Structure 1
Amino acid sequence: MAQKRADMIVETRGKLIKAAREAFAAKGYADSSMDELTAEAGLTRGALYHHFGGKKGLLEAVIAQIDGEMIERLSVIINEASTTWEGFIDESIAYIEMALEPEFQRIVLLDGPAVLGDPAGWSSQNACMQSTQRSLQKLIDEGTVHVVDAEAMSRLIMGSLLGASLWIANADDPQSASRKAVESFVTLASGLLLDSGKKGGVKKS
């Protein structure tokens, strides 16, 4: 009985998140009606309030789902790289370029900060920062980059990546902004290298 109830909760939450994600991506948070969301999911407003506390809580759940998928994608990129440095650069570039994806741009980078506040405090940013810190520490241990405080540098790097993503999402020409951000980040990050001639892992957009 307990397992059946748990399965029902997961199913109900899943239906609401799916309906909200589709609506937020298509219409934006402000123009998405809770009545339409719940009707699309075949549920009631009461179910939405019970599981998420309201529309804002539902947005948080949608962003958490998207961010979870983002972290998985970045992990694959790191694991597929031939060197730690290439993985670090490729992961960072991929993070920047995600700002061009319509769903990610609208829900996470435009509506998210407007409704939930500074993304720097979101749990997903902490997860990305920890991943960056692990990569940096490995690069330091390998003797690839200068010895720096890995946590401090990770926070600086994530701050620059997040800032670039928000700039791209709000730019009049996101494609141009993305290219400039990628080029500038690679130049910035290359300053960490002990051998400044190594600039592998740069993908041409």
Structure 2
Amino acid sequence: MKRAEKVEDTRRKLIQAARRAFAEKGYAAVSMDDITASVGLTRGALYHTFGDKKGLLQAVVDQIDTEMASHAHAVASEAASLWDGLIAEGVAYVKMALNPEVQRIVLLDGPAVLGDPSQWPSQNNCLQMTIRTLDKLIEEGTVNPVNTEAAARLLNGAALNAALWIAASDTPEDVVDKAIEAFLWMVDGLKITKP
């Protein structure tokens, strides 16, 4: 195996092991030795690849957050219109907060260890996509002329905060419908009402 392949294999193994461990026990309860031993690697391999446990969490969060964005975009692409896609994407993101792995790693441990999720690189990619969608919706006359960056930040922030609320709730299944209803009312305010 070439060096680059070995490095990538080590990275993949550590992310996969950490993802399982963080989902099952939570970030604080998992030791670096637990993670490395489960895949037959040393703590040095973890330090060399990710710097530390926090760096490994960042890689796991990036992986899951990217999967979440891909799922939400796939749902949006199946919608009948760009407007319906915008709504479907936001709702899909909110609903993913019901997934125990997403709850624990991305919505609970991630912000506690890595800080404000709106500053994560993966969130910036989502923001740029929402801005482009809003630009197109304004161009086609579906959405009121509004500063698209401001509107995109509010929409993405609303979906993220709804997901955080669901994840922190003792009864997430009871909260999700309330969160989606409020999100839909908010998004609907952007749409041009035709007489």
TM-score by length of 2: 0.96
Give deviations 1:113-132, integer Å, cap 9, x for gaps: 11111111111111111111
> Counterpart of 1:103?
101
TM-score by length of 1: 0.92
**Which of 71, 87, 96 matches 1:89?**
87
Q: Is the 8 A contact 1:190 1:196 kept in 2?
A: no
> Counterparts of 2:143 and 2:194 in 1: how far apart (Å)?
9
Give deviations 1:48-100, integer Å, cap 9, x for gaps: 00000111110000001111111211221122111001100000001111111
> Counterpart of 2:134?
136
Q: Give secondary structure in 2 for the equivalent of 1:50.
A: helix
> Counterparts of 2:194 and 2:171 in 1: how far apart (Å)?
31
Which runs of 4 or more aligned residues in structure 1 lie more than 2 Å from their structure 2 counterparts after TM superposition? none
Q: Is the 8 A contact 2:69 2:93 kept in 1?
A: no
The amino acid across from 1:186 in the alignment is L
> Counterparts of 1:53 and 1:25 in 2: how far apart (Å)?
21
> Counterparts of 2:146 and 2:97 in 1: how far apart (Å)?
29
Report the alpha carbon displacement of residue 111 of structure 1 after superposing the two structures with TM: 0.4
> Counterparts of 1:18 and 1:60 in 2: how far apart (Å)?
13
Give deviations 1:142-170, integer Å, cap 9, x for gaps: 10111111111101111111111111111
Give deviations 1:15-63, integer Å, cap 9, x for gaps: 0000000000000001112111101111000000000011111000000
Structure 1, unaligned runs of 5 or more: 198-205
Q: Is the 8 A contact 1:74 1:95 kept in 2?
A: yes
Q: Is the 8 A contact 1:168 1:174 kept in 2?
A: yes
> Counterparts of 2:194 and 2:124 in 1: how far apart (Å)?
29
Identity of aligned residues (%): 56
**Which of 174, 177, 181 matches 1:176?**
174
Instruction: Output aligned runs, 1:114-125, within 5 Å.
Output: 114-125=112-123
> Counterparts of 1:91 and 1:129 in 2: how far apart (Å)?
12
> Counterparts of 1:79 and 1:162 in 2: how far apart (Å)?
20
The amino acid across from 1:135 in the alignment is T
The amino acid across from 1:15 in the alignment is K
**Which of 12, 31, 36 matches 2:29?**
31
Q: Considering only aligned residues, what root-mean-square deviation do their CA atoms show, in Å?
A: 1.3
Q: Is the 8 A contact 1:68 1:124 kept in 2?
A: yes
**Which of 39, 42, 53 matches 2:40?**
42
Q: Is the 8 A contact 1:110 1:170 kept in 2?
A: yes
1:149 and 2:147 correspond: yes
Report the alpha carbon displacement of residue 195 of structure 1 after superposing the two structures with TM: 2.4
Q: Give secondary structure in 2 for the equivalent of 1:67.
A: helix
Give deviations 1:176-204, integer Å, cap 9, x for gaps: 1111010011011111111279xxxxxxx
1:74 and 2:75 correspond: no
**Which of 7, 13, 16 matches 2:14?**
16
> Counterparts of 1:53 and 1:81 in 2: how far apart (Å)?
42
